[in-house]
């Protein structure tokens, strides 16, 4: 199968960069349902995947999209689906099947202003908790990365695919309409410069292989045999033992739940991705993620021009939340201003939790439609500083 990588410089939208990143990561199955502002990814996949021998289907709904994606991965193809707002609500039904059966695939959420249909064509950041806690039943960890630019949309999509294989789980790319629709420079490097993790295969014979490593919950890089490889795999929605057989025993439920949580929580060091700017001497920090990081960085620069010691911090990995890195920021500064495109305070709530009272946390929210303006954030810094 061809690598599909098209090295070069491109002037494209974030949504298109996601598609190119997926293809470069080896994604050969895509299923989606049209929804703004994510459709450009689906359209790019529909054009590009056949060129590289991949499969692209527009399914009858969001549920079929995520379930066919999970199944295609069980079939041996790296797979991805995408949606936004109301579509993500539906996708969450299928997410549990992927989490529970430890199926590697990628889900992209191009966030728009909500709730419900909200403003379909405009930005919002209201899905932080939705993707983390939306799949019923708990007993799960989630990995989610969030890009701030077209370039990062490409890079982090590849990283999402890699994490999905390493951790054997669905991984989210949590982006937003600002990034999805921003047209800017994308540099696609040579294939040899890209780090792509291939599906890990068992080295032991089928009779010795356990599909679900319930007795070693923290193990990563664990093999995933696909159908047709002689391993007689069992995938199901029910709580399973190590072979995949349904069980109602409490000890099996306990082990399975621990496996699904611990494989992420015992490997946090491998997952930390954060951005810091001007934090060395900072006495005040601004925190933002995704597309809204861009006005936040501009506001920090404005504050610096006025001589204020303000730094910038961005979680690139949203889940698991980079608690330790946020705590370090909180221990350094007196105040943290969190800027995000929701009124209810989601990122700010996580920052406050991770800061453990070491700094005062302020929430600059917006219902969405427009990202914050740098001046808006700067005014808030000036009001709160030092």
Partner 1 sequence: MSTVGETLNLLHPLVAKYLRRERMPHMACPGCGIGQVVHATLIAVDELGLTPKDTVWVQGVGCNSRITYSTWVGDNVDAHHGRMFAVATGLKMARPDMNFICFTGDGDCGAIGGNHFIHACRRNLDVTAILFNNGIYGMTGGQVSPTSPLGAVTTTTPYGNIEDPFDMCKMAVAAGASYVARWRSTDFKQLSNSIKKGIQTKGLAFIEVLVQCPTNFGRYVLKSSSPQEVIKYIKAHTISIKDAEKLPPEELKGKNLIGEFVHHTDRQGIVERYQQFLKEHQKE
Does 51 contact partner 1 by CB under 8 A? Answer: yes
Partners of 10 in the β-ladder: 186
Count Cβ atoms below 10 Å from residue 211 Cβ, excluding itself: 24
Instruction: Name the residue nearer to partner 1 (CB basis): 140 or 338.
Output: 140
- How many CA atoms are closer than 13 Å to the CA of 184, on its beta-carbon side? 14
In whole angstroms, give the CA distance from residue 83 to residue 264: 24
Least Å distance, CB 258 to partner 1, is: 22
Cα angle 142, 144, 145 (rounded to 5 degrees) comes to 160
238 near partner 1, judged by CB under 8 A: yes
Q: Does residue 79 belong to the site contacting partner 1 (CB under 8 A)?
A: yes
**CB closer to partner 1, 87 vs 118:** 87
Least Å from the CB of residue 4 to partner 1:
7
Instruction: Round to whole Å and give the CA distance between 330 and 285.
Output: 8
Residue 244 contacts partner 1 per CB under 8 A: yes
Is 76 a residue that touches partner 1 (CB under 8 A)?
yes
Contact between 311 and partner 1 per CB under 8 A: no
Asked if 27 interacts with partner 1 (CB under 8 A), we say no
Q: How far is the CB of 139 from partner 1 (least distance, A)?
A: 16
Tokens of 130: 């939705």
Q: Could you say which of 215, 236, 254, 265 contacts partner 1 (CB under 8 A)? A: 236
Per CB under 8 A, the segment of 11-19, 63-71, 260-268, 296-304 that binds partner 1 is: 63-71
Q: Which stretch binds partner 1 (CB under 8 A): 71-79, 175-183, 184-192, 285-293?
A: 71-79
Q: Which is nearer to partner 1, 64 or 310 (CB)?
A: 64
Size, binding site for partner 1 by CB under 8 A: 46
Cβ atoms of 38 and 81 within 8 Å: the answer is: no
34 counts as binding partner 1 under rule CB under 8 A: no
Contact 381, 308 (CB under 8 A): yes
Backbone φ and ψ of 108, nearest 5°:
-105, 135
Residue 239 makes contact with partner 1 by CB under 8 A: no
Query: Counting contacts by CB under 8 A, is residue 75 touching partner 1?
Result: yes
Residue span 213-232 as binding mask against partner 1, x where in contact by CB under 8 A, dash where not: -------------xxx-xxx
What's the distance, CA 372 to chain centroid? 22
Q: Does 69 bind partner 1 (CB under 8 A)?
A: yes
Reduced 3-state DSSP string for 12-61: EEHHHHHHHHHHHCCEEEEEECCCCCCHHHHHHHHHHHHHCCCEEEECCC
- DSSP run (H or E) holding 81: strand 78-83
Q: Which residue from 160, 152, 71, 141 is spatially nearest to 314, judged by alpha carbons? A: 152
Q: How many CB atoms lie within 10 A of CB 10?
A: 17
Name which of 45 and 156 has its Cβ closer to partner 1: 45
Q: Is residue 60 at the binding interface for partner 1, with CB under 8 A as the rule?
A: yes
By beta-carbon proximity to partner 1, the closer residue of 90 and 268 is 90
Q: Does 246 bind partner 1 (CB under 8 A)?
A: yes
Q: How far apart are CA 192 and CA 339, in angstroms?
A: 38
Of 117-125, 144-152, 190-198, 235-243, the segment contacting partner 1 by CB under 8 A is: 235-243
Q: Structure tokens of 94?
A: 């299928």
Q: Is 360 helix (H, G, I), strand (E, B) or coil?
A: strand
Would you say 59 or 384 has its CB closer to partner 1?
Answer: 59
Closest CB to partner 1 among residues 231, 284: 231
Distance CA 86, CA 111 (A): 10
Tell whether residue 77 is a contact of partner 1 (CB under 8 A).
Answer: yes
Q: Contact positions toward partner 1, by CB under 8 A? A: 2, 4, 29, 31, 50-53, 55, 57, 59-61, 63-64, 67-77, 79, 93-94, 96-97, 226-228, 230-238, 244-246
């Amino acid at each position: 199968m061809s690598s599909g990588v098209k090295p070069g410089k491109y002037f494209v939208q974030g949504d298109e960069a996601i598609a190119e990143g997926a293809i470069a990561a080896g994604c050969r199955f895509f299923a989606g349902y049209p929804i703004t502002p994510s459709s450009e990814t689906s359209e790019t996949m529909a054009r590009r995947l056949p060129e590289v021998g991949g499969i692209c289907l527009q399914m009858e709904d969001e549920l079929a999209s995520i379930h066919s994606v999970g199944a295609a991965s069980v079939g041996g193809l790296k797979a991805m689906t995408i949606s936004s707002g109301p579509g993500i609500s539906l996708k969450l039904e299928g997410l549990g099947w992927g989490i529970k059966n430890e199926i590697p695939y990628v889900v992209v959420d191009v966030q728009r202003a909500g709730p419900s249909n909200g403003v379909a064509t405009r930005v919002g950041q209201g899905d932080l908790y939705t993707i983390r806690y939306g799949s019923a039943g708990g007993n799960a960890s989630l990995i989610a990365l969030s890009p701030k630019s077209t370039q990062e949309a490409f890079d982090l999509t590849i990283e999402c695919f890699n994490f999905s294989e390493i951790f054997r789980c669905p991984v989210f790319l949590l982006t937003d309409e600002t990034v999805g629709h921003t047209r800017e420079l994308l540099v696609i490097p040579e294939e040899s410069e890209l780090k792509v993790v291939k599906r890990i295969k068992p080295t032991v014979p089928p009779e010795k292989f356990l599909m679900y490593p319930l007795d070693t919950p923290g193990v990563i890089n664990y093999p995933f045999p696909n159908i047709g490889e002689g391993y007689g795999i069992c995938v199901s929605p029910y709580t399973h033992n190590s072979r995949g057989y349904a069980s109602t025993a409490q000890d099996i439920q306990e082990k399975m739940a621990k496996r699904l949580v611990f494989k992420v929580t015992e490997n946090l060091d491998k997952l930390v991705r954060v951005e810091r700017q001007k934090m060395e001497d900072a006495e005040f920090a601004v925190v933002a993620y995704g597309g809204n990081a861009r006005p936040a960085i501009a506001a920090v620069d404005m504050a610096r021009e006025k001589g204020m010691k303000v730094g910038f911090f961005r979680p690139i990995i949203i889940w698991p939340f980079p608690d330790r890195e946020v705590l370090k920021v909180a221990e350094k500064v007196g105040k943290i201003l969190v800027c995000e495109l929701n009124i209810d305070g989601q990122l700010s709530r996580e920052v406050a939790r991770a800061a453990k009272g070491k700094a005062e946390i302020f929430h600059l929210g917006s219902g969405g439609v427009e990202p914050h303006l740098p001046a808006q954030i700067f005014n808030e810094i000036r009001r709160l500083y030092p």
